[in-house]
Amino acid sequence: MTKKSLILFAHGARDPNWAEPFRRLRALTQAGLPDVAVELAFLELMTPDLPQLAAQQIADGAQQVTIVPVFLGQGGHVRRDLPVLIEQLRRDHPGVAFQVAAAAGEDDGVLQALAHYCVSSSGR
């Protein structure tokens, strides 16, 4: 059986409290995928970064790594920075299968959940 890893990839911030919703998301995701190592990596300002975390997961035996950008849209970080990181990961770990999901905000279900939240917040 192929050992799998799922990395939630977020931007990062100077304020450590910024990451709390992402930590909760990681825990919720891990609960839904008990046989997969689910971790959180950051583009900048926080650790671990994506190369560090992927290398750790691979050292722990991951043969398939899925990266889920938990960004609202496909901005420059997802369109430009992430492909460069993925290309480097593929060069550094040629025996590992890397998959990259679309930014979370591109998913209709995510947008529906956010719209529901916005509507319910309006007090209607």
Catalytic residue check, 11: yes
Non-local CB neighbours of 61 within 8 Å, separated by 6+ positions: 3
* DSSP state for residue 1 in the 8-state scheme: -
| SS3 of the chain: helix, strand, coil, percent, to 5 | 50, 20, 30
Structure tokens at 109: 């279900």
Task: Return the SS3 of 65.
Answer: strand
Using the structure block, give the residue that is written with the tokens 């008990």: 34
Which residue is catalytic, options 11, 77, 93, 116? 11
Catalytic sites, residue numbers: 11
